Structure 1
Amino acid sequence: MPTTEHEMPIEFLHNRPQIAASLLQDAFGVPIPDHDETRLASGDCTDNQPKEYRADAVVTLSRQGINTMAVVVEIQRAKDARKRYSWPVYVSTMRARLECPTVLLVICPDEATAQWAGEPIGMGHPGWSLAPLVLGRARTPVVTTREQALAAPEIAVLSAVAHGAEDKDTLVACAEALNSLSSELFGLYHDYVVTALSGTARAHWEALMASKTYEYKSEFARKYVAEGEARGEARGEARGEARGEARAILRMLAARGIAVSEEARDRITSCTSTDQLEAWVDRVAFVDSAEELFD
């Protein structure tokens, strides 16, 4: 059964097929030919044979209607010896059908599978082997700036999933990218990130989503708003909202591993100005100490 880990990278290619060329260039240094169109093509690699061969996705680059490159994309979650035979079929069939240079890009969620997938496939003919280009965690581009993230939101998501545990800036950049998308894509990509992350990285991501910076597009953020509203019904709307904001600030500081002194905690939790709390929420992802919030 297809899983989120398998389906989401394919969804990324459907939404923005040009990321295939970007990944080849950024992760592997593959020269990308001049082109004026990028589109998703049929992944059917069967060529009048009884056995069906179907790649997860195929992206074509063309110039003035002529194909200049094809990228066969496979999502591989575990070792599968049969792929050592089917992958060359995908490449050769697409090369013959589209009459252009064809590259195999394999995306692997874990490094063990990535190392296996990257082993050259000997074809038996002297001097002829296929060396798949494998995008594992180590090869996934590191996106840490808002500009990079806005230019390629899907790559920012892959970056956050691959590197978020050790580089929290990738999570901040990913959040910036998602905030530029429609609510539908925001929810889809956000759910993928939450599912893929664990531990402190997931806690940090959830704390980011609690910030009003991201306009409460995520379910996690809406949960915090609901908590604030519930308290507001019992104790006054303003007070309930303020407590929700204070909790979000403290949770994010904890997720980032930032120590909070009793004085700083008291200042945050005793603040009743929602404007001030919102300002701290917007800053909390970027400070190195709790005291910097108050500067």
Structure 2
Amino acid sequence: MVSSRHEAAHRIFQDRPELLAPVFRILDLPPPEKAAVEVLTPDVTEARPLERRVDSVLRVKPYDGGGFLLAIEAQGRCDPDKAVNWAYYVSYLAAKYKHPVLLLVVCQDKATADWAAGPFRLGMDDWTTLSVHPLVLGPGNVPVILDPEEAAQDLTLATFSALTHGSHRDAPAILKALARAMGTADPDSVRYYTELLEIGLGAKTPAGITWRNEMSVGTYFPGRGTLIEETFLKGKAEGEA
């Protein structure tokens, strides 16, 4: 069963495709500058009863032509069946859309991220018929953002960082910095990122409880009429309405 935490880990790429630029830099790949991003159907089922779905599929079209597909999978644990599934997804999408395909796996713990890096070789004995080499984002390469000003400069990346490092020892400090950065954001963004983090961190996890507590306070100087307090109270009122 797909969990809410699973959904949040890849859904942010659909809703906020600007996250692709810093992510590509994290992966040491040339970022798709000034590219149009289109969300494609994740259904990769053929005319057969077995349903197959990728978590998210994006078509990235750089302004100077070309383009590629980015298949995104959120992975919460090691799964030996994924090698075959991922090989199928990549092959199917390449055949259907006639574009190169990259597979990006998002993990929230280091053990799963290390495993997901592969490579996954399909074949027999010493002969490899097909090899899958995923790109992986996890606690080992996604930056930890502890400075509210840095978080405010790129709320999308800061939110993704908080999702990825939800089990990190510095999670409370990460979430505190992000909560303070929310005070400079527009109400729509505050609502979106707040809800996404509630879902992605889980309501009963230590990080999820910390986040709810941070956002219930809204400001470090209540009653002083600061910009952060005004923005938070306005966003909260609109959300309740």
**TM-score normalised by the chain length of structure 2:** 0.73
How far apart are residue 14 of structure 1 and its match? 2.6
CA positional deviation for 1:58: 0.7
Higher radius of gyration, 1 or 2: 1
String of CA shifts for 1:27-63, please: whole Å, max 9, x gaps. x112234553012111122345553321000111113
Residue-pair matches, total: 220
Listed as ranges, the matches of 1:56-95 within 5 Å are 56-63=55-62, 67-95=66-94
The aligned counterpart of 2:169 is 165
SS at match of 1:79: coil
User: Equivalent pairs: percent with the same residue?
Assistant: 27
Computed over aligned residues only, the root mean square deviation of the Cα atoms, in angstroms, reads: 3.5
Q: How does 1:91-240 map to 2 (within 5 A)?
A: 91-124=90-123, 126=128, 128-146=130-148, 148-161=150-163, 162=165, 165-166=169-170, 169-179=173-183, 180=185, 181-182=187-188, 184-192=191-199, 195=202, 199=206, 205=211, 208-213=214-219
Greater share of helix: 1
| CA deviations over 1:250-285 (Å, ceiling 9, x no partner) | xxxxxxxxxxxxxxxxxxxxxxxx54xx78x98xxx
* Alpha-carbon offset, residue 109 of structure 1: 1.9
Shift of the 152–127 alpha-carbon distance from structure 1 to 2, 3 Å rule, reads farther
Structure with a larger share of its residues in strand: 2
Name the aligned partner's letter for residue 61 of structure 2: S
Flag structure 2 segments of 5+ consecutive residues without an equivalent.
230-241
Cross-structure match for 2:5: 5
Q: Secondary structure at the match of 2:17?
A: coil
Higher RCO (Cα < 8 Å, 6 or more apart): 2
Equivalent pair of 1:60/1:67 in contact (CA under 8 Å): no
* TM-score normalised per structure 1: 0.61
Unpaired segments ≥5 residues, structure 1: 216-244, 246-273, 283-295
How far did 1:129 drift? Answer: 1.6
Give the distance between the partners of 1:10 and 1:18, measured in 2 at CA.
13
Q: Is the 8 A contact 1:123 1:129 kept in 2?
A: yes
